[in-house]
Structure 1
Amino acid sequence: MKNTAIKDLPRSDSDRIENVRREIFERAIELFDSYGFRGTSMNRIAEACGVSKPALYHYFDSKSHLLDTLYQDIMSDFFSSMETLARKESAPPTEKLGRLVELQVLHNIHNSRFLKIFWRERHEFDEGARRSLAQREREFEEWVRSIIIAGQASGEFAQGSPQVLMLSVLGTLSTVHRWYQYANASPEEVARSIRQMVLTGVAETKR
């Protein structure tokens, strides 16, 4: 972990609040990874950050709030990009799905440490955060499903259950963060390979 205490970050920096939050995120991830969510107290996080527990509560109401905020921070730009892509009417479904696959693979690789913790600890979110998370996931699934339906309608994708195809694609993408380091390939190469595999799998067979 970094040795600089949160209190020693420059106070004149206009982005200080955001920098403090990111420092807390970084150290919380280290602790969640080492001790698990339940094994990491707010006292332990505050100690790692070099601040008092009341000072930590100034930024986060609880560990669950911290974990939820970290998830929102990491995923917000990704979901925004996905929504823009899904609604890009001029792009053909094959291009949309291929780009979606590449973006998610790269995102999952670049955030692999957090995602390992997230999938292990997501049950620790409070009820409201779990509902919000489930709603966001359903929205994402619907974007992918709509691309598949459009591809079937245009003749680019094979006919079949859009739900099954969507879950198959997302199931493939959901494990990348666990094994990519064994692929002996760059993140971009992994993304291109999975894109090709997915598009080949859903493509309409020409007769």
Structure 2
Amino acid sequence: MTADEHTGQSRRSARRDLVESEILAHASALFAEKGYAGTTPQEIADSVGMSRQSLYYYMSSKEDILAKLVAHMTTNLVEQMRFIEMDEDATATDKLSRVVTVIVTDRAKKPREFRLLDRSSSSLPDELTEEYLHGRREALAIVRSVIAQGIAEGEFKPVDERVAALSVLGMCNWVAWWFEPADNHPISPIAEQISDSAVSMLRRTDGPAAGPETPLDLVARLENDIAQLRRSLSD
């Protein structure tokens, strides 16, 4: 393959990814409004602004759209998280910060897709329900693993790993319900602030009075961080 052919192929692949993302975004909005069963392929095509024939060039069926939506919101994200977790040169603090940033950015960029699956996971076809739930379990396992590393290496306080991981994921996922992208509210500072809050919640302190933090302490700290973040956004 020549350099020109490779460049052309890369551009076509990038365009396909862009169009597929747009189809998924419009389909998610229609599924949320009318339900999966009540949405037709023609309505999805009309919403995107393409013919039904063009829609089938990118997606083989409505079922294919739903399957790719689940994959985009679970498998793809978990792969990014796993890559960070497997970085042998990174500290647990660095891993947690990067994992949180990846999740928050994903939720902020695709809030409708996340809300749709979060609300209707029980009504998905069985195989997609299992894929979605498996992805959630994998994400929880990765965050727990990073926290366990931090505890073992003395970076994080000796907390309940599962409660801490659920608290971190809850903070990340909640972004899909309240964040509204705008010129004065870009994603990156929000992701940075939430990742800092997650690390701060777990970072070990050396004060003599410091002791093991209970699950309720973690939840209280998380609620306080979220409240401060929401106040800063409303200013």
Q: What TM-score results when the alignment is normalised by the length of structure 1?
A: 0.78
Which sections of structure 1, spanning at least 5 residues, go unmatched?
Answer: 1-12
The sequence identity of aligned pairs, in percent, is 26
User: What residue is the counterpart of 1:7 in the other structure?
Assistant: none
CA distance in 1, matches of 2:28, 2:132: 19
Conserved 8 A contact 1:105-1:191: yes
Structure 2: distance between partners of 1:121 and 1:77: 20
Is contact 2:93–2:150 with CA below 8 Å preserved after alignment? yes
Q: Kindly state the Cα deviation for residue 78 of structure 1 after the two structures are TM-superposed.
A: 2.6
Cα distance in 1 between the residues matched to 2:18 and 2:91: 40
Equivalent residue number for residue 203 of structure 1: 203
Cα 1:175–1:59 shift into 2, 3 Å: same
* Deviation, structure 1 residue 84: 0.8
Comparing 84-93 with 127-136, which one deviates more in the overlay? 127-136
Distance 1:62 1:204, change over 3 A: same
Match of 1:10 in 2: none
Matched, 1:126 2:125: yes
The residue aligned with 2:51 is 50
Deviation at 1:18, TM superposition (A): 6.0
Cα distance change on mapping 1:102 and 1:26 into 2, 3 Å: closer
Q: Which residue of 1 aligns with 2:150?
A: 151
What secondary structure is seen at the aligned counterpart in 1 of 2:44? helix
Change (3 A) 1:26 1:166: closer
CA drift of 1:199 comes to 0.9
Structure 1 counterpart SS, 2:52: coil
Contact 2:41 2:52 in 1 (8 A): no
Cα distance in 2 for residues equivalent to 1:150 and 1:199: 13
1:168/1:18 Cα in 2 relative to 1: closer, same or farther (>3 Å)?
A: closer
Aligned-partner SS, 2:204: coil
* Contact 2:85/2:142, CA 8 A, preserved across alignment: yes
- Which amino acid counterpart does residue 84 of structure 2 have in structure 1? L
Instruction: Please state whether the residue corresponding to 2:180 is helix, strand or coil.
Output: helix
TM-score normalised over the length of structure 2: 0.69
Asked if 1:186 is matched to 2:186, the reply is: yes
Instruction: Give 1:22 shift.
Output: 4.8
Cα distance 1:90–1:62, how it changes in 2: closer, same or farther (>3 A)? same
1:125-169 Cα offsets, whole Å, 9 max, x none, are 211111122222212211111111110011111112111111111
8 Å Cα contact 1:37-1:121 kept in structure 2: no
Instruction: Between 19-28 and 153-162, report the one with greater CA deviation.
Output: 19-28
CA contact (8 A) 1:112 1:178 kept: yes
**Distance in 2 (alpha carbons) for counterparts of 1:156 and 1:57:** 50
Paired residues in the alignment total 192
AA matched with 1:83: R
Pairwise CA RMSD of aligned residues? 2.9
The CA distance in 2 between the partners of 1:191 and 1:177, in whole Å, is 12
1:10-37 Cα deviation digits (max 9, x unpaired): xxx9658767755643442342243232
1:109 partner SS: helix
